[in-house]
Amino acid sequence: MARSSRRTRAGSHRGDRPSIVLVLAGRALVRGRLQPVEIAIDDSGRIASIGKNRSGGPRHDVGDCVILPAATDMHVHFREPGGPSEAETIGSGTVGAALGGVALVGDMPNTRPPVTDLESWQEKVARIEGRAAVDMLVFAAPTDPRALPSLARHAGGFKVYLAPTTGIDEPPSMEEVPALWERLAELRLPVSVHAEDPTQFSADRPPSSPVGWNAVRPGAAELSALDRMIRSPVGLRLHAAHVTTEEGARKLRGAGLSFEATAHHLLLSDRSGTDARFKVNPPLRPESERLALWEAFRRGEVPILASDHAPHPKDTKELPFDRAPSGVPGVETLLPLMLAQVRAGTLDLGVLVAAACERPARWLGQPHGRLAPGHRAHLIVVDFRERSTVSGAKLASPCGWSPFEGWEVVRPRELYRDGERIVDAGEFAGRSAGKVVRPEYALGEAAGTPSPTL
């Protein structure tokens, strides 16, 4: 966690203007157009100023390459503690994030044991310190009412599962949900919700393909659960995870609630593959539904992009469909897949940056995600002329597979964490000095979790 005193505000520069440690020159989006810019980064790892002819520190000129804020992926499952190490660790997961241009991940609580009280939160944080390549925000599951006050002073957010999923067998019933919202509203942390109503699932036949899985857990189950969310109390900072239907997106927008769509629900349909590598919760939808969600995303009507990175071991995804676990890896491919869409002319860069970088960081109360003075210098450098394809075997995740095998991607060349280059020429080349962060608007102080201040 410690950073060298040279780079902290409490160091030798106390009282002085912070000194410039790097001037990054390249092109960036300014008022919707790519223009030459220079970004001066100070010794606290913040953006000091943006403009032309910055001076005062060593210069790094990336020429025609594009400088963007690094992304935030607010929905990952790194499987620690308790997961099989051949699937993922916090170390491999955060390196994959860095290589994919992601500087902050929101890690979900359905580990073994799940993060449901202070003790399990501390166990996870102890695993993060010194091992995470990028920052992590730790979500907790509000399953134990007695643990909520202490969790609210430490965790980064709450995750509520309205349907059974990996590691969560007993979600609250739909009748219990209103009281849960009331309790969470007092705690002032962001709340992400897995919105599927299990009473709308059908169990007629064991599913044998993604088409069958969509029939078992239909879009109607999502819409039913979203209706519960929309009736939540004012003041609850609520966000729907992995929305799969355009109608759901429209409802949430109308209610002013935050939500995300995943790369797999935006780019894959229930006909993209026939085996369990394409089994996810909620399921991949028919092509017409996927296309409607994609068009909404392209119009900027899906506020947040996330991966729901769930790196199951390859052998478990080779099981018969009905016995295989649900979930796909995605933190490393999330932004590169979408940057390839930008290069192809099918997605606007400004729309992507808002959904992948700006809004998720803001929703989680973090001072980054925009090229703005005072923001932490979590930045990436992208060369749109460099194209490559997804190879599961080459991902940082030891799971070794991807539902996007062979898809074209644009990988960031460089990633800066607090102004320090940790990805260089597309390779991880930094320290594992990621921090555990909490929303700046959260209540109270948490020992051992430095919360960034502007």
Identity of the residue, 73 or 383, whose beta carbon is nearer to Zn ion in the bound complex: 73
Closest CB to Zn ion among residues 329, 439: 329
For Zn ion, give the closer residue by CB, 197 or 308: 308
Residue number closest to Zn ion, CB atom? 308
- Residue 196 to residue 270: CA distance in whole angstroms: 18
Contact between 390 and 397 under an 8 Å Cβ cutoff? The reply is no
- Going from the C-alpha of 318 to that of each of 285, 325, 434, the distances in angstroms are 21, 10, 34
Applying CB under 5 A, which part among 124-132, 185-193, 302-310, 420-428 lies near Zn ion?
302-310
Quick check: is 308 catalytic?
yes
Question: Which listed range, 265-273, 300-308, 347-355, 443-451, lies at the site for Zn ion (CB under 5 A)?
Answer: 300-308
Q: Which of residues 329-358 bind Zn ion (CB under 5 A)?
A: none
CB proximity list for 119: less than 8 A, separation 6 or greater? none
Closest distance to Zn ion from the beta carbon of 443 (Å): 26
Contact 259, 243 (CB under 8 A): yes
Q: Pick the closer one to Zn ion by CB: 403 or 419.
A: 403
Contacts of 364 (CB under 8 A, 6+ apart): 72, 74, 104, 106, 137, 156, 157, 190, 437, 439
Question: Is 270 one of the binding residues for Zn ion (CB under 5 A)?
Answer: no
For residue 202 the two structure tokens come to: 């059908």
Which of residues 38 and 308 has its CB atom nearest to Zn ion in the complex?
Answer: 308
CA torsion sign for 135, 141, 145, 146 is negative
Give how many residues touch Zn ion by CB under 5 A. Answer: 1
Closer residue to Zn ion (CB): 26 or 282:
282
> Which candidate, 397, 399, 395, 398, places its Cα nearest to that of 407?
395
> With contact defined as beta carbons under 8 Å apart, do 164 and 170 qualify?
yes
* CA contacts within 13 A on the Cβ side of 336: 31
Residue number, 79 or 290, with CB nearest to Zn ion: 79
Nearer to Zn ion, 107 or 308 (CB): 308
Q: Which amino acid is at 122?
A: Q
Least distance to Zn ion from the beta carbon of 308, Å? Answer: 4
Q: Are strands 47-51 and 33-42 parallel, antiparallel or unpaired?
A: antiparallel
The C-alpha atoms of residue 127 and residue 381 are separated, in whole angstroms, by: 29
Torsion of the alpha carbons at 412, 84, 151 and 225, rounded to the nearest 10: 80
Q: Alpha carbon of 34 to those of 37, 249, 297, 321, 373: distances in Å?
A: 9, 30, 21, 46, 18
DSSP, res 444: S
Q: Which position among 270, 308, 383, 418 bears the catalytic label?
A: 308
Number of Cβ atoms within 10 Å of the Cβ of 383: 18
Nearest distance, CB of residue 165 and Zn ion, angstroms = 7
Among 38, 308, 332, 414, binds Zn ion (CB under 5 A): 308
C-alpha–C-alpha distance, residues 121 and 171, integer Å? 20
Report how far apart, in Å, the C-alpha atoms of 26 and of each of 49, 104, 201, 428 are: 14, 23, 51, 21
**Contact residues: Zn ion, CB under 5 A:** 308
Residues involved in catalysis: 308
